[in-house]
Chain A
Amino acid sequence: MASQSEVIDRLRATFRSGVTFPEQFRMTQLQSLLSLVEENEQLIQDALHKDLHKPKFETVLSEIQITLNDLYFAMENLRTWMQPEYNIGKNLATRMDDCFIRREPLGVVLIIGAWNYPLHLILLPLVAAIAAGNCAILKPSEICQATEQLLAELIPKYLSQDCYAVLCGGAEDTKSLLKNKFDHIFYTGSQVVARSILLAAAPHLTPVTLELGGKSPCFIYGHIDIQKAAKRLCWSKFFNTGQSCVAPDYVLCTAQTRDALLPALRETLRTFYGPDPGASLDMGRIVTPRHWRRLMDMLEKSKGKVVIGGESREEDRYIAPTVLVDVQESDALMQEEIFGPILPILTIESLEEGIDYINRQEKPLALYVFSDETSVVTTVLNNTSSGGFCGNDGIVHMALPGLPFGGVGASGMGSYHGRWGFETFSHRRGCMNRSWLLERVNVLRYPPYSDYNLGWLRWATTFKKNSWGGCSVM
């Protein structure tokens, strides 16, 4: 059984050999990863059900299909992404030169997965890392043991063992892994651990992408079809039992809206899960007893009033879809990311009050607004910041590969999905291939200096305001 450093050294040696650079190699590996997912769907579903009691539908939608989509997208666009970018504006002094930006692999990267979507949160970064020509070490979350084991077994079977390795283990193993030098670290998880990752990366000057979380607010304001809004809200909140980094964490609305919302929520939940969600096949469970306990504590300490749900069962870590009203800013539920099927509703009197509240907190990973009024959506957009934003729906903005997925401030740094992942795992190298001609123009820059030369040089290199495409015009 190879030690961590042996594995890293092996991958580094492979990277040095240049074998991951050619397009053909990357394509083959991506194709193999595609086969891995397609051929093992049942095994994946079983593992996820074992770990998270994940309903088959959710597994297909949010783990399998999203990974397949990203793979298709990467394979379709790989050639374009790999091309040097030539569309660069030039000035007179560089007219005859070849200027372009190359995307180059970084080296050996470390991808640390999370437990809530144990498959796609580790495979989507891997797709990007492979597409960008790197070698990668995967460190799946140890909390989802069945998925961890499955990945450890399947990855070496399908992908090149010299380029990609899975290292399993707990917190101590991760700590020792981080002592090694990597060329990029991609982490999905909590802020606390993120800090220690950054501290571990600093001595090696390793760039880091952090996909964290936060409390994603959801405005329901102004004129709105409350039935439809309730449907989409319930779906995004209770998907994966609320254990999504972009789940709407809490709702901000007026008392009037709240009164219209509650019956709509009740009806929707009934339609979704039946009268007893605990018996529905479509309702998931909390990942571990410890997380269940954390949520129950928050619920018990909360001073809000439970109006929907509230039931729970310790034996199978079940918590019913629960909605609370009369929740204040100081409530236990408002101090940290909930990450569970508990939805507090905070009443506001005006949009500004809600916006002020949001701006007093850390920047969230996602922000939602349900409203028919464009002015409401625009006001919120212009006066807040968040990793991403979705109007009149929840979560789905992360399924569009053209949009970068990432946080800002305490919710993270960097982004991925689609081309953004490719860019994250690449170095953008600016290249200028100077011609041997125009040495006479060059002469202007050499000592001995003179005002005359300086004048001409200034003219030749100055950006002209109305130039087309950033080139200086004679």
Chain B
Amino acid sequence: MEKQAVQRAREAFLAGRSRPLEFRVHQLKSLQRMITDRQGEIATALKQDINRSQYDTPLFELIGLENEISLAVSKLAQWAAPRPVERNLLTISDQAYIQPEPLGVVLIIGAWNYPWALTLQPLVGAIAAGNAAVVKPSELSEYSASLLKALLPRYLDQELYPVVCGGVSETQELLRQRFDHIFYTGNCTVGKLVMEAAARHLTPVTLELGGKSPCYIDKDVDLRVACRRITWGKFVNCGQTCIAPDYILCEPSIQNRVVEGIRQTLLEFYGPDPKSSPDYGRIINQRHFNRVMTLLEGYTATVGGQSDASQRYIAPTVVKDVPPQARLMQEEIFGPLLPIVTVSDIDDAIHFINEREKPLALYVFSSNKKVIKRMLAETTSGGVTVNDVIMHYTLSSLPFGGVGQSGTGRYHGKHTFDQFSHHRACLVKSLGMEEINVVRYPPQNHQKVRRVRLAMRTPLVDFSKGTYIWAVAASIVALGLLVALTVVLILAAGVSCTCL
């Protein structure tokens, strides 16, 4: 079944249907319509999957998606156009440019924590780049998966963009097929398996994984605002966000104030009983519920700590003075537990971060430019937000992706288009200027060698539009100045003449 879907998609791609720009724009607009028309059903599915509040859905899934589609529709012609490059003396009369081209049939494997955004945003880029795409939503968010399977064929070309649902064995079957690119969002373990499967066919991959995203709070900072922003980012979607601040690093002197700040904010956000707040989510399934609860074993919560297995509810929880070797600090939490680890100063914090795997996101809260500069210069991570959390995800012009164990590749906005394209280097020469070429042909001698070296050493010239405009403008100004100078000289000569 999986094999047939891929086969059909490949045939449809080879027929050339997905390539014309008008077709791509039309598909994207249909996708837009699907999201707008079916918002209610999507929200219901999400509520059933993960108890997503009706506001979190547009906020975290749909607005971003709609923006991406609008951006793609608006900029597609620009993105898909040939991109000229600098030429040198040897290629001065030639055309040299990079032509973005579709890769072919791509595979997009979605995740369960933001099942719509994380499955459809890559699809936007895949469609925009002219590919066919097999979409495999996560089976853990089963209501969303079924809804997607029912809806997508009604809005998009059924053969080019099939939805394949299923669990581990269906995914494995899919991964046995040959794709021209695989885009996977999920965890490291499966990420490695995806890469292994891709290796067989020499398929390039984009892996959006995760990790423990550290959040450093400097001591001279407005803790009220900082704690508000951190609390928001941590507990939205019940902590099940790949770029949620995983743990806090701060000096012991401010730890208690940080805890208080978070406690206060939690009260503001969810009231005294988060379980009854319509805005607080649940853990996706029993297995993850048990996993998160196990992390808490042996530690006393400073804030929260309550849970209800029947509802897969875990209260927003903060744990103080967590030792670095605690279980809580060994794996990505992906839940509403927020450990605070104390560090003696910024050096200690940087050292702590660099001892661990490169995270997907890094957060720094500080009013001190030097501290921020050091953090940025002396650590690495997929992305960074300073003085807030998560927000770097929302700007489509910033590339979103991991590094090291947190992933490979990047997307959002134009970056998705580029990720799903082949950038073909094109040099179109004329058969003229053959005299220059003669130096490179055998039989060879010293003079020819010298001439060729000289010709190859020419600097590159930028023939882009910007340079042309600058050159033309500068020429006009220069000409104008010359004219003015001439006029002045003439007048001056005239004046001195009459004076005589």
Interface residues in chain A, defined as those with a beta carbon under 8 Å from any beta carbon in chain B: 16, 18, 21, 55-57, 60-61, 65-66, 69, 72-73, 88-91, 93-94, 97, 99, 101-102, 104, 106-107, 183, 191, 194-195, 198-199, 201-203, 205, 207, 210, 212, 224-225, 228-229, 231-232, 235, 271-274, 280-283, 359, 370, 372, 377, 381, 385-393, 396-397, 399-405, 408-410, 412-415, 427-436, 439, 442, 445-451, 453-454, 457-458, 461-463, 465, 470
Contact = CB atoms under 8 A, between A and B. Distances in A.
B132 to A, nearest CB: 14
A449 B449 contact: no
B259 interface: no
A207 B401 CA distance: 13
B43 interface: no
A106 B381 CA distance: 10
Contacts of B188: 205
A207 B385 contact: no
B345 interface: no
16 contacts: A61-B452, A90-B395, A99-B392, A102-B376, A198-B195, A203-B196, A205-B407, A372-B431, A389-B426, A392-B430, A399-B90, A402-B87, A409-B202, A445-B59, A461-B394, A463-B70
B443 A282 contact: yes
B268 A446 contact: yes
Nearest to B408: A207
B202 A390 contact: no
A414 B98 CA distance: 14
Contacts of A18: 378
Contacts of B367: 436
Given A385-B422, A428-B399, A448-B279, A397 B204 contact: no
B387 A434 contact: yes
Contacts of A436: 222, 225, 367, 387
Interface in B426-463: 426-431, 434, 437, 440-444, 448-449, 452-453, 456-457, 460
Contacts of B200: 195
Interface string B450-484: 00110011001000000000000000000000000
A448 B270 CA distance: 7
B434 A432 contact: no
B228 A183 contact: no
B199 A195 contact: yes
B70 A388 contact: no
B86 to A, nearest CB: 4
Contacts of B283: none
B210 to A, nearest CB: 12
Interface stretch (B50-58, B142-150, B163-171): B50-58
Nearest to A442: B229
A310 to B, nearest CB: 20
Interface in B390-435: 391-392, 394-401, 403-405, 407-410, 422-431, 434
Where chain B touches its partner, the secondary structure class is: mixed
Contacts of B403: 104, 106, 427, 429
B269 A447 contact: yes
Interface string B239-268: 000000000000000000000000000001
B99 A381 contact: yes
Contacts of A412: 202
A56 B460 CA distance: 26
A228 B434 contact: yes
A282 B443 CA distance: 6
A430 B279 contact: no
A274 B443 contact: yes
